[in-house]
Amino acid sequence: MKGLKKGSITIDVLIAGMILTAGIAASMYLFRLGFQYLEKANTANLIALKISQTPALLRTLDLSKESGLEDLGDGVTLRWMSKLIAKSRPERMAEAKIPSAHELYLYEVTLNFEHKGIAKTYKVNVFRSTTLVSPEQMGI
């Protein structure tokens, strides 16, 4: 009977070691998974920060080129494509039929932000105007 108790302690220690090993392996997996999600969250936050800077960038882009690639810093790149939706030269006074000194453009712009394999795509409409003649040339 005494030999049975010694073997029982050895089995208890082996079972406890297996449970401890399984717990450590599960913890390591959860830490790795948590780190991956934290990295994705940091990437999404960095892209969101760059998106907030986009309105200023859109003012400087030549949308008539139809596409381009911009480096926004911190490893974030912006691929953009533009498509002219409408072009108009309105009349200044409907009854006098005097043409406007401006031409109006409406573009659909697709913005694709990329960082570390994660991409976010947005579409926006951008309104532009071009001065055709100066007010002095029109006699105003």
pLDDT digit of tens for each residue in the chain (140 aa)? 454 555 688 889 999 999 999 999 999 999 999 999 999 999 989 998 998 888 999 999 999 899 999 999 899 999 999 999 999 877 665 566 666 677 899 999 999 999 988 899 999 999 998 887 765 655 55
Q: Which residues contact 96 (CB under 8 A, 6 or more apart)?
A: none
Supply 139's token pair. Answer: 């006699």
The Cα–Cα gap between 19 and 25 comes to 10
Supply 98's token pair. Answer: 């005097």
pTM of the predicted structure, to 2 decimals? 0.67
